Amino acid sequence: MGEQTPGGDEKTTKATKAAKAAPVKPKAASVKKAAAKKVRAAAKKAAPAKAAAPVKRAGAARTVEVRPPSGESRTALVRRARRINRELAEVYPYAHPELDFESPFQLIVATVLSAQTTDLRVNQTTPALFAKYPTPEDLAAANPEEVEEILRPTGFFRAKTKSVIGLSKALVEDFGGEVPGRLEDLVKLPGVGRKTAFVVLGNAFGRPGITVDTHFQRLVRRFAWTDETDPDKIEAAIGALFPKSDWTDLSHHVIWHGRRICHARKPACGACPIAPLCPAYGEGETDPEKAKKLLKYEKGGFPGQRLNPPQAYLDAGGRPAPPLGAG
């Protein structure tokens, strides 16, 4: 092998320096690629949140079924459902049926009248009705036009007049003027379905029942206790999660929460005591101060729905509703 010339050494040195410098560009490019890869990864992580956003949209036309949290077992569902009920029992220890009544007859008539109107409006209307027709015999023999005039404020007063007079006649003819205490008998009465029957059984006779009204249906789906939409199937699904002895109070707790905090269009999520347990948290207002302004009835400092509420409710700071025409 021959010796290298000085010129050759200089060329070699330059080539070596160039070779060492060359990797700098690829290295910079790989850094850029890595950074871009991180951005894309972050974007992918963010994408599901955007996709899930429509599920949290509140509104009357909302049909999305809230399902149990991912991976929640049947046992976990039962525990969470019962914990929610315990929490609601602490928030509403005075929960009660929000229809004024002094007898099973008054309760069943008031419940029939509460269809498509508020309990408050029924409570403001029934004092005049029961003052004039205190018994099933009296209402069964009533002049429909006179009853219609009394019931006018409740809406659909002609249909409701027909229902309560027909109901009273059935009580007189089939049950000796007494409201029966069995589900199978109650549902045979005109205008009485399972919901009305369970209201009467649970609150007039002390027999457990689940009242599946619109509030109850909405909340049990938001709580992800069930995704059923048929009232009878909802009743069966929820009944399986709780001891039978809890059914009546459970109904009161859920319905009260639906009327006061977990509203249909604007749930007050930021003021909800069970927010950590609710898969639907975020459907409504989450800002605590704004959410407080959405609270209704005694939670918002306003009168309740009964003119003559239980003493426990009054002791807790609740206020009775005004009679019809007051204020």
Q: What is the Cα gyration radius of the chain?
A: 32
Choose, from 100, 213, 246, 249, the residue flagged as catalytic: 213
Residue 71: how many CB atoms within 10 A of its CB? 6
Q: How far apart are CA 11 and CA 14, in angstroms?
A: 5
Structure tokens, 38: 């991180």
Return the number of other C-beta atoms located less than 10 Å from residue 86's C-beta.
Answer: 12
287 is catalytic: no
Q: Which residue has the tokens 């040195």?
A: 13
Q: Among candidates 65, 31, 101, 46, which has minimal Cα distance to 229? A: 65
CB 253 within 8 A of CB 95: yes
CB 319 within 8 A of CB 298: yes
Q: Is the dihedral of CA 243, 246, 247, 250 positive or negative?
A: negative
Give residues with Cβ within 8 angstroms of 300, minimum separation 6: 260, 292, 293, 294
Rounded to whole angstroms, how far apart are CA atoms 15 and 51?
Answer: 55
CA 296 remoteness from chain centre: 14
Annotated catalytic residue 293: no
| Angular region, 289: left φ>0, alpha ψ -120 to 50, beta rest | alpha
Look-up of token digits 């003819």? 173
DSSP 278: -
Active-site hit among 195, 246, 249, 299: 195
Question: What phi, psi does 152 have (nearest 5°)?
Answer: -50, -45
CA 145 to chain centre: 38
Instruction: Just list the catalytic residues.
Output: 195, 213
